[in-house]
Structure 1
């Protein structure tokens, strides 16, 4: 079953194409990797899929539903969650408050007054335990290490129970032990039924974790397939690896 499909997705900035005629298909239940040189359109593609920017042309279809021009919150409610290349947390809120704000069922004023739904708080603690940072629930997010902030961001995304999760450079700026932890979490969550699309420059991580890899160059997909095939594809070697 197809989870996400884009058809001819195109976006230019100042006349310069960032994504051009991108047709991509993700199958349900896979861990998909998205790789390519810097400037090849990977993050712009994420932004188009999640409604952060609108395409000049093309379609974004999720489980057959057209989400092309929907607002980000409507896309999130449809079942697509994402993290960002530069981690986004509320630095002066506690870890638990960050989790509760993520579901937007508790107003910020109520949250700061200590008023929140017990069920939501317990669900937040569940995800914090899954990330291994439950002991930090009362710490302000700004006091966490960058790697811990990345885990918090992922936990907050999971509060909305997305079926498709887009991760933008989850290994960027974190230590090898945490990379291993992230890989384990992605595999566990995938085994529980979630589909992933991961933008990452760490090739060892991508090739070891992903079932399916898509390669972008100059804003368009040039290859797609299992890691073993991608490693040997001459178009990838030329465009991405420079050989």
Structure 2
């Protein structure tokens, strides 16, 4: 398993957002993480990627305990992530957004006009993969929201992560772009990268993912193939109360 959690727990104001979660992400797969609103999915993401610290439990990546590591250190260890709302530098060019995502490229160097040739080439490669290489000189704020999503995803790959966590990649984008993102994820998975995707768009999850974990009340209640979890009475009860 590329990523596992053991008894992961986080409480906010007396409410357990994540409650003793034991999760195993299957390596080499496109894993989906679904559940009703408030089931703890994004909190789980934030715990795994170091944005918040758990009250108890552990996060293991490739067998190494990364609990409590900083987000920067976790990213450097091979875990990349996107956010529900794009995190980009709106007044920087698309290309500079890519370069500042690289640990070795400092913002001060970019402002001084210093760019490493190898990093520029890698940035252009990923912009091309996302289909937005023609926008490299544009300020990121002038991109459409869908293009900003693609830019954020491209920037994640500048760190060469083996595991990529996508937080609602379909949120706020049109159906054509949803299909495009799904195809990109499947292609990148075929090249050896593992994904964990939080998403409310069930059509996207069922078509893109080959292993699905269902959260309710801060912990997994079901997992398996998309077909298996769709037929699980516990999942129907969590979503529909039936």
**TM-score band w.r.t. shorter chain:** over 0.9
Q: CA RMSD in A?
A: 0.7
Contiguous gaps of at least 5 residues in structure 1: none
TM superposition shift of 1:189: 0.4
TM superposition shift of 1:109: 2.1
Contiguous gaps of at least 5 residues in structure 2: none
TM superposition shift of 1:242: 3.6
Larger mean CA deviation between 113-122 and 169-178 belongs to 113-122
- Report matched runs for 1:66-105 at 5 Å: 66-105=65-104
TM superposition shift of 1:240: 1.6
Say yes or no: does 1:145 pair with 2:148.
no
- Report matched runs for 1:119-198 at 5 Å: 119-198=118-197
Name the SS for the 2:46 alignment partner: helix
Say yes or no: does 1:38 pair with 2:37.
yes
Name the SS for the 1:188 alignment partner: helix
Q: Structure 2: how far apart are the matches of 1:210 and 1:109?
A: 40
TM superposition shift of 1:77: 1.1
Name the SS for the 2:177 alignment partner: helix
Q: Structure 2: how far apart are the matches of 1:153 and 1:98?
A: 8
Q: Hey, what does 1:52 align to over in structure 2?
A: 51
Larger mean CA deviation between 68-77 and 4-13 belongs to 68-77
Q: Structure 2: how far apart are the matches of 1:154 and 1:219?
A: 27
TM superposition shift of 1:112: 1.8
TM superposition shift of 1:27: 1.5
Name the SS for the 2:129 alignment partner: helix
TM-score normalized with structure 2 length: 0.99
TM superposition shift of 1:241: 3.5
Name the SS for the 1:48 alignment partner: helix
Q: Structure 1: how far apart are the matches of 2:24 and 2:82?
A: 20
Q: Structure 2: how far apart are the matches of 1:156 and 1:186?
A: 15
TM superposition shift of 1:7: 0.5
Q: Structure 2: how far apart are the matches of 1:72 and 1:60?
A: 13
TM superposition shift of 1:107: 2.0
Name the SS for the 1:149 alignment partner: helix
Larger mean CA deviation between 109-118 and 230-239 belongs to 109-118
Q: Structure 1: how far apart are the matches of 2:73 and 2:4?
A: 17
Name the SS for the 1:17 alignment partner: strand
Name the SS for the 1:240 alignment partner: helix
Q: Structure 1: how far apart are the matches of 2:229 and 2:214?
A: 8
Q: Cα deviation per residue 1:211-236 (whole Å; 9 max; x = unaligned)?
A: 10000011111101101110100000
Task: Tell me the matched-pair count.
Answer: 242
TM-score normalized with structure 1 length: 0.98
